[in-house]
């Protein structure tokens, strides 16, 4: 069982939410599965749009507006089957992501995208990138423990958006 104490403490802190929770989720992700590039994306499966709401490399992958889904076997696995997508080579990444050259330039050649599911719908993904062949079976299994804190982050983000209206 992962130690969620630091994450729970970050969520309980007043002010600067959901940013504190996002940063705590990044730390937890580094501890559980390892990550170089970490982003959190929302998913609107009906409108086929996503939005980056957190990035540990904002100069390269900024938090920005919405973008349409990339309709590939990635979307079939992650959004339709609601399973974690895994690509452990830059060639496999290039088959599904147009920004594969940028990904490789950051020293990343493997990815896992962990779907966050609520009520049968994928509401977002946790995106973890690292060295070639980094995401072993054990690391992929460990990533399952990120789903609950990922859900908390998504809910905090949704609450913030609602309050901003």
The pLDDT score that the predictor gives to residue 111 is 98
Inter-residue contact 87 to 111 (CB < 8 Å)? yes
β-bridge partners, 140: none
Please give the model's pTM, rounded to 2 decimal places: 0.95
Q: What is the pLDDT along the chain (165 residues), one digit of tens a residue?
A: 899 999 999 999 988 999 999 999 999 999 999 999 999 999 988 888 899 999 999 999 999 878 887 788 999 999 999 999 999 999 999 999 999 999 999 999 999 999 999 999 999 999 999 999 999 999 999 999 999 999 999 999 999 989 888
What is the per-residue pLDDT across 69-82, written as a single tens digit (0 to 9) for each?
778 899 999 999 99
Q: Could you give the C-alpha distances from 99 to 61, 90, 119, in angstroms and in order?
A: 10, 11, 31
CA distance 64 to 1: 34
| 3-state secondary structure (DSSP) of residue 124 | strand
Q: Is the dihedral of CA 23, 21, 60, 98 positive or negative?
A: positive
What is the per-residue pLDDT across 14-38, written as a single tens digit (0 to 9) for each?
889 999 999 999 999 999 999 999 9
């Amino acid at each position: 069982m992962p130690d969620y104490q630091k994450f729970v403490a970050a969520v309980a802190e007043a002010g600067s939410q959901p940013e504190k929770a996002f940063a705590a989720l990044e730390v937890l992700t580094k501890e559980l599965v390892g990550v170089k590039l970490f982003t959190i994306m929302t998913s609107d499966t009906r409108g086929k749009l996503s939005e980056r709401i957190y990035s540990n490399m904002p100069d390269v992958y900024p938090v920005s507006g919405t973008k349409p889904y990339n309709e590939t076997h990635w979307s079939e696995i992650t959004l339709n089957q609601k399973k974690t997508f895994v690509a452990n080579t830059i060639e496999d990444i290039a088959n599904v992501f147009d920004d594969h050259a940028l990904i490789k330039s950051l020293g990343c050649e493997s990815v896992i995208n962990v779907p966050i599911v609520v009520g049968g719908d994928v509401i977002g993904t946790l995106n973890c990138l690292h060295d070639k062949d980094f995401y072993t079976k054990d690391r992929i299994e460990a990533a399952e423990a990120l789903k609950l804190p990922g859900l908390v982050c998504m809910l905090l983000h949704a609450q913030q958006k609602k309050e901003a209206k």
